[in-house]
Chains A and B, each alone.
Chain A
Amino acid sequence: MKIKIIYGLVWLLLFASCAQDKKAQRIPLEDFFKNPKKTAFQLSPDGQYISFLQPYKNQMNVYVQKLDGSKITRISSELNYSISYYVWGNNDEIVYLKNNDEKGPSLYVVNKKGEKFRPLFSEGKLRLKFITPYRIIENQLLIAINKRDSTFFDAYRLNIRTGELKLAEKNPGNISHWIADEDGQIKLAVATDGVNETLLYRSKERQPFKPVVTNSFKTKIAPIGFSSSNEGVIYALSNQHRDKMALVEINCVTGKEEKLIYSNDSVDVSEAGYSPLNHRLLYAGYETWKKKRFYLDDSIRNLYQHLEKLLPNTEVQITGNDGAEKKFIVKTFTDRSPGTYYLYDLAKGKLTKLSEINPSLPQNAMCEMKPIYFKTKDHRTINGYLTLPLGFKAENLPLIVIPHGGPTSRASWGFNSEVQFFANRGYAVFQPNYRGSKGYGKSFWIAGFQKWGSNIQDDITAGVKWLITEKIADKNRVAIYGTGFGGFSALHGLCFQPDLYRCGASQSGFVNLFTYIKAVPPYFKPMLRMYYEMVGNPEQQMDYLRAVSPVFHTDKIVAPLFIAQDLKDPRANINETNQFVKELKNRKIPITYLIRENDQLNNLEEQMNFYRQLEVFLSDNLNK
């Protein structure tokens, strides 16, 4: 009799464990946030070598291998700072950038065998921008630095052989961007007075720039490339005189838009494929609920379609190629997989796997990210994404709302480790693309201007309420979490929607919009008016900014709070956050306060620690 009972118990336990297995195994936190082993794959111009970044003693360093994967050589030995940028200077040499906090940016050259290392550029503490980041023409690297005056950037040519730095173009003080053509000639420039942007054009260097068209910052013209057929005609993404960005041809001499190449009714054209090899437009990229391509070139259509056949059920991107455009670096991804890098040889039609981005995350344990939409009170349609935990019924789930940062940005469909981490822990994750988000057209973007603390927040609230009425979310278990503007939204939600949120977490959230505006540094001075227009004018709209800045409303917060703050953050003054935390502590509000040093060396560990504490905070407060 006894044996029978034990037998039954064993069966019961087995059954229980099987049933749990179906609910997705609990994956360790570290697996979600570990750095990819190999990233930033590039092909050498001659297509004979592949380079990539890989951690060496905790810092990213450059490695080179042959096409077949043999002869892997580490060619850099940086132990204190990770390398964030590198480029093939020619078939033999690689230029890489090291951002030293104390000494400023430095460039180094080393050959593909890791020999002949030499410093190339180090001019002290200044800011450095690349004009043509992934193309070095005849050993000349085009850069822009604010060496002469910290408030604006002059264009320079840096010879990677000799290390000679030559001023290419003096900035009269209002140029914010320099654009070069395939031959490295600076033909386009963008001048700005902060609010209005003027596109400048010249047909040859040494000639003076002539204004092509002037727009306010709300209208954007982003040059893509130069047309080969007609002198002075460029391809650009533009939303001049239209709501949604479109791919167009602009005649820089007349300043007229000559041809509409592609536009989408519902969303912006967000990118365009362009081949500098023969000045070809390849495709127009746009993002509805996910990124899509409209092909403008048959060969590229065939290439992509072939790749999609070889790699079914996944999204395909070409991230790099050799000089002859015969070999390609291909990256795949889905919402449930961070993806894999491949090498594709066009001539042989052969696909070689290079590296999986995060092999420790099994795809079948990841959760699907579903596009959703809802209506607001003022009849606006807001899109967003909902990720439901695997193996749970979509009913009465604990919910985490993650408003994206920016707010000029958007949540996109694809793999997101943070979202997957929360979903794996059993939470539903909601990412609304509230008004003010990028990608849904000009008017939708502008609708968020000066509405940071009002309509934008109402959109988020409406989304949460919709999920509650749909009975997907449990109204007693909703948390709000975000970074930057998302953190501001979280704090704002806790202040003004105390009944909606059980708890909230803010990472570097803006506690005070006055400070946010004040943070526009002197060399962005012309941008100040734009900030006033987007956020609010602190002198004329003081009451509004005061009414929506969380630092003035600590008395309204009742829910438990998690705050992470960088020690040095120009957008959110640590002293203010301290004051904010102090007030809440005095009021006996349960609060977890995490100050992050943002130390380069321990960045990953700090990040893990943040998520570890956040996980505990959420599970404590959402009754998990």
Chain B
Amino acid sequence: MPKARFQYRRNSALNVIFLLLITLSFIGAMFLAHRLTDKYVENEFNQRKIDVLEETLKPYNEFFQKKVPEISFYQGYLDSSSSLKYADSVFQEYTFVKGVEFYDTEISNHPIQKAFRINHFSMNPKAVYDYKRNKQGSAVSSQRKKTTNTASSTMEEFNHMAVKFALYIESVDSEKPLQSADFISIFYHVTHNRITYMNIPRDEDMQTFKALMLKEQALSPVFQQDIVSFILDPEKLIIKNTNKELYQYIHITPIVYESLITDPDILSTDLPLTGAFADYKLHFSSSRSHLNKEINHRLIPVAFAIVLIFSVLLFIAYLIYSNLNVNRKMFSLQYNFINNLTHEFKTPVSVIKIAGNNIKSAKELSDRERFHYGKILDEEADKLNDLMNKLLSFTQIENHSITIKKEKIDLLVFIQNMVDAYQIKYPDFKITHSTGSVTSFKTDPVLLSSIFQNLMDNAYKYSLPQKKVLNIKVYLEKGNIVFKFIDQGIGIAKAESENVFKKFYRIQSQYNQQGSVGLGLAFCKELVNFMSGSIALKSKQGEGSEFTVVLPFEL
């Protein structure tokens, strides 16, 4: 097993599990999002009703806080005509006011028969007016017949107010002026669909009233107070549905109302009204499908965000995977290279070893034998040296640790030398060349000869024995010098033509059994790039290859 540990691992089950997990978590997230939105909307349904209440009661509160206390500003001076105008303005502004009753009240210590009396304090309505809304929405008045009995039910509001006020007057303390917090309990009387209000007398008047009540005094002047009672109609409250998406229907219903709808798909909730409308509540209801619409509406952005997150996740996973793939290829290249290299080194080393052994074990060496072994040792040492040089210079080139030493060369002489060297080495190698008009140019001869060697080696190596032919063409094109190496070798498949320049790449074929490291063309490409040129390959399998090297032309 330890062998497996250092092997390159590829586990497709892991990939499948990863994909499965991602899919599952995506589905989970979507489900969770839906559940949360659902809960959230349900919560909203129960909570946002406060907003509706607030908006709906806004005119009522304004009426209560502003329009009603305006009566105090008139300081008791309201009479039939001015109270009509006031009632009219109330009707115009506040639709939920159904009627207004106005008690033009007098306070004195006169012993009046039908008045509300405590000690000497008398309080009686001089006149009572009822205001109703007519069809145009303005006020019409009717004066009530002379009241016969203050205790009668029609005078209920007046009596309530009189009792409250008299009790307050009795306990009024000059040291403690009236606080606005007391107003609501003394001067407002809020009951079922009704607000009754009396104008707030000045502190000095309160003292006077107290004196009227408790002290024996001469007949006092008559003080004017205004009591106004508003009859309200909750049906006329305008419901402001601020959350239409949540509430399909809102009704004002009596506080005891219970919905009899049994359809489980209808959701409903209540909220009691306040103030004079405390006997009523707002009843909110929505069908499930209405809420679902809202849920979906809110889910869309969430779902979109989840999809986005997961696509980013998947994309990153893909990047990691493809990176791993490249690394895997790299790994196999290097693995092969080491294999080849070992092999390459092994052959000459074993030949040298055999030759060495033979020399050691021979009793004596004939001249022929000595020459033979010497030649073998020499050749194999050359091979090793060549191999090491190649590796070394390749590393140097890759690390840019060599420098270009340019000098002018005579191209014809240069090529002829190369050709001559090869013809001596391989007598069956037919090399033709043409240099055209180009005679000389400036370059690093060592690097250039390296390129020539590699390409010429290849041409020889990958050609069938009867077809070891190479044509070298040199010409100028757009300020560049072009070298073409055309052979009639086995050729390279089109799919491989890019790969041949890669490091440690070797085409798997029958011609390539031994002696190749997969560095030659990669080395060439590095060299050409280093010399600011380019290299390209045009090839057809079985017919031959054409390598084109383009270098900048300098004189």
A→B interface (CB under 8 Å): 512, 514-515, 517-519, 521-522, 525, 538-539, 542-543, 546, 549, 551-552, 568, 570, 573, 575-576, 578-579, 583
Contact of B180 among A519, A522, A578 (CB under 8 A): A578
- CB-based contact A538/B75 at 8 Å: yes
Does B477 sit within 8 A of A, measured CB to CB? no
> In this assembly, does B26 line the interface, its C-beta being within 8 Å of a C-beta of chain A?
no
In contact, B73 and A512 (Cβ under 8 angstroms): yes
Could you tell me the distance in whole angstroms from the C-beta of B180 to the nearest C-beta in chain A?
6
B76 contacts A579, CB within 8 Å?
no
B77 at the interface (CB under 8 A from A): yes
Please report the total number of B residues contacting A with Cβ < 8 Å.
Answer: 23
Of B69, B77, B208, the residue contacting A539 (CB under 8 A) is B77
- Which A residues are in CB contact (< 8 Å) with B81? 542
Contacting residues, chain A, for B66 (C-beta < 8 A): 583
By a CB distance below 8 angstroms, the chain B residues around A517 are: 75
Return the CB mask of B214-229 against A: 1 if under 8 Å, else 0. 0000000100000000
Task: Determine if B82 and A570 form an interchain contact, defined as CB atoms under 8 angstroms apart.
Answer: no
Judged by a CB distance under 8 angstroms, whether B74 is at the interface is yes
Residues on A with C-beta less than 8 A from B77 are: 514, 518, 538-539, 542
A525 to B208, CA, bound (A): 13
> In the docked arrangement, what's the CA distance between A11 and B269, Å?
81
Residues from 130 to 166 in B contacting A, C-beta threshold 8 Å: none
A157 to B179, CA, bound (A): 43
Question: By the criterion CB–CB under 8 Å, are A570 and B204 in contact?
Answer: yes
Q: Contacts A521-B204, A579-B69 hold; do A514 and B75 have CB atoms under 8 A apart? A: yes
Nearest Cβ on chain A to B107's Cβ, whole angstroms:
13
Contact, CB under 8 Å: A575 / B178: yes
Do A542 and B74 form a contact, CB below 8 Å, given A522-B221, A583-B66? yes
Q: Are A552 and B70 in contact (CB under 8 A)?
A: yes
A575 touches B200 (CB 8 A): yes
The distance from the CB of B182 to the nearest CB of chain A, in whole angstroms, is 11
Task: List B contacts of A543 (CB < 8 A).
Answer: 82, 85
| Contact status A549-B178, CB under 8 Å | no
A519-B79 contact given A514-B74, A576-B73, CB 8 Å threshold: no
Alpha-carbon gap, A270 to B77, bound state (A): 37
Alpha-carbon distance A570/B201, docked complex (angstroms): 12
Which among B70, B75, B78, B221 is the interface contact of A518 at CB below 8 angstroms? B75
- Report yes or no: B221 in contact with A552, Cβ–Cβ below 8 A: no
Q: Please tell me if the beta carbons of A573 and B69 are within 8 angstroms of each other in the complex.
A: no
Complex CA–CA separation, A583 to B73 (angstroms): 14
Residues of B contacting A579 with CB < 8 Å? 69
Beyond A539-B82, A552-B70, A575-B200, 9 additional pairs, beta carbon < 8 A: A518-B77, A518-B202, A518-B205, A519-B204, A538-B74, A539-B77, A551-B73, A570-B202, A575-B180
Q: Which of B74, B76, B81 has the most CB of A within 10 A?
A: B74
Most central of B75, B180, B204, B221 by chain A CB within 10 Å: B75
Residue of B nearest to A549 (CB): B73
Interface residues of B in 178-192 (CB under 8 A from A): 178, 180
Given contacts A549-B73, A552-B73, A576-B73, contact A542 B178 (CB under 8 A): no
Minimum CB–CB distance from A152 to chain B (whole Å) comes to 13
With CB as the reference atom, state the residue of chain B lying closest to A552.
Answer: B73
In the bound complex, do residue A525 and residue B221 qualify as a contact, i.e. CB atoms below 8 Å apart? yes
For the complex, give the distance between the alpha carbons of A515 and B205 in Å.
12
> Residues 164-184 of chain B: 1 if any A CB is under 8 Å from the residue's CB, otherwise 0?
000000000000011010000
Q: Does B73 lie within 8 Å of A514, measured CB to CB?
A: yes
Q: Do B75 and A515 touch (CB < 8 A)?
A: yes
Chain A residues contacting B74 (CB-CB under 8 Å) are: 514, 538, 542, 546
Number of A-B residue pairs with CB-CB distance less than 8 Å in the complex they form: 53
- Complex CA–CA separation, A317 to B170 (angstroms): 55
Most chain A CB atoms below 10 A, which of B73, B74, B81: B73
| A542/B82 in contact, CB under 8 A | yes
Q: Is B208 touching A522 in the complex (CB atoms < 8 A)?
A: yes
The interface residues of chain A lying within 8 Å CB-to-CB of B205 are: 518
B residues apposed to A, CB below 8 Å: 66, 69-70, 72-79, 81-82, 85, 177-178, 180, 200, 202, 204-205, 208, 221
B78 to chain A, nearest CB (A): 8
A364 to B204, CA, bound (A): 49
Chain B residues with Cβ under 8 A from A514's Cβ? 73-75, 77
- A582 CB to closest chain B CB, in angstroms? 8
6 A-B residue pairs with CB within 8 Å: A515-B202, A539-B77, A546-B74, A570-B202, A573-B202, A576-B72
Chain B: which residue is nearest A582 at the CB level?
B65
* Least Cβ–Cβ distance between B441 and chain A, in angstroms: 66
- Chain B residue with the shortest CB-CB distance to A567: B177
- Within the complex, the shortest CB–CB distance from A584 to chain B, in Å, comes to 12
Q: Which residue of the partner chain A has the closest CB to B220?
A: A522
Looking across the interface, which residue of chain B has its beta carbon closest to that of A514? B75
| Distance in angstroms between the alpha carbons of A573 and B81 in the assembled complex | 26
Cα A583 to Cα B67 in complex, Å, equals 11
Tell me the bound Cα distance from A570 to B73 in angstroms. 14
Q: How far is the CA of A40 from the CA of B221 in the complex (A)?
A: 42
Say how far B212's CB is from chain A's closest CB, in angstroms: 11
Interface centre among A518, A519, A570, A579 (most CB of B within 10 A): A518
> Which residue on chain A has the smallest CB distance to residue B183?
A575
CB-CB < 8 A to A518: which residues of B?
A: 75-77, 202, 205
Nearest CB in chain A: distance from B105 CB, A: 14
How far is it, in angstroms, between the C-alpha of A285 and the C-alpha of B204 when the chains are bound?
40
Shortest distance between the CB of A574 and any CB in chain B (Å): 8
CB distance from A445 to the nearest CB of B (A): 26
Chain B residues near A512 (CB-CB < 8 A): 73, 75
Residue of A nearest to B78 (CB): A542
Q: How distant is the Cα of A414 from the Cα of B73 in the complex, in angstroms?
A: 39
The smallest beta-carbon distance between A199 and chain B, in angstroms, is: 27
Q: How distant is the Cα of A517 from the Cα of B204 in the complex, in angstroms?
A: 13
Residues from chain A with Cβ under 8 Å of B73 in the complex: 512, 514-515, 549, 551-552, 576
Note all chain A residues with C-beta closer than 8 A to B78. 542
- Which B residues touch A522, using CB under 8 A? 208, 221
A578 to B180 alpha-carbon distance, docked (Å): 10
- List of B residues within 8 angstroms of A519 by Cβ: 202, 204
Contacts of A521 in B (CB 8 A): 204
CA of A514 to CA of B79, assembled, Å: 14
Separation of A575 and B200 alpha carbons in the complex (Å)? 10
Alpha-carbon gap, A525 to B74, bound state (A): 19
Give the distance in Å from the alpha carbon of A525 to the alpha carbon of B205 in the complex.
13
Complex Cα–Cα for A551 and B78 (A): 16
Q: Which residues of B lie under 8 Å from residue A552 when comparing CB positions?
A: 70, 73
A517 to B224, CA, bound (A): 13
A551 to B72 alpha-carbon distance, docked (Å) = 11
CB distance from A127 to the nearest CB of B (A): 14
Chain A residues with Cβ below 8 Å from B76 are 518
Do the beta carbons of A539 and B79 come within 8 Å of each other?
yes
Q: What separation, in Å, do the CA atoms of A363 and B79 have in the docked complex?
A: 58
Bound complex: CA A512 to CA B71 (Å): 12
Contacts of A546 in B (CB 8 A): 74
Most chain B C-beta atoms within 10 Å of own C-beta, residue among A522, A568, A583: A522
Q: Which residues of B contact A583 (CB under 8 A)?
A: 66
The distance in angstroms between the C-alpha atoms of A576 and B75, with both chains bound, is: 11
Please name the residue on chain A nearest to B65 by beta carbon: A582
